[in-house]
Structures are given as structure tokens and as C-alpha cells.
Amino acid sequence: MFSLKDAPTTASTLFSAYASFAASMMLVRSMADQLIPHQLRSYIHSSLSYLFTPLSSHLTLVIDEHSGMT
């Protein structure tokens, strides 16, 4: 299991992890561009954008006020 004690703390190790992750994502993207047909990529993109599009453009924030300790 992952613990915060084992997390890298120096800037060089964090940058190295970021660079490895970014390079891996670029490789996956270029492979997907070559292997997955354009129509299927377009369908997946439209499906994902539909799932993550908010249903409303308004946001209601409710803040409960409490006076005293209960």
C-alpha cells in the first residue's frame, strides 16, 4: 500500500516522475492515433464530453451558519 512516507520528496525525483508520465502519455496517444479509427475516436470523445458536461450552468452553494457550539 502507498504511504506518504515513501513518497518522493526532492524536486528532481518529482520532475523525473512527471517526465516519465508525460512521455508515456505521448506514446499512448500516438499509438491510439495510429490504431483507433477516426470515427471511433470521435464517438468516444463525444460520449466522454457528454458525460462530463454539467447539466446546468448555475451552481448553488449553501452555507449553514451555526452560532455557538452544539
User: What pTM did the predictor assign?
Assistant: 0.51
pLDDT value of residue 35: 94
| 62: helix, strand or coil | coil
Averaged pLDDT, groups of 10, the chain, 70 residues long: 66 90 95 92 91 83 75
Q: Are the C-beta atoms of 50 and 42 separated by less than 8 Å?
A: no
C-alpha cell at 27: 506514446
**pLDDT at site 4:** 63
Half-sphere exposure for 59 (CA within 13 Å, toward CB): 3
For residues 17 and 22, give the distance between their C-alpha atoms in angstroms, rounded to a whole number: 9
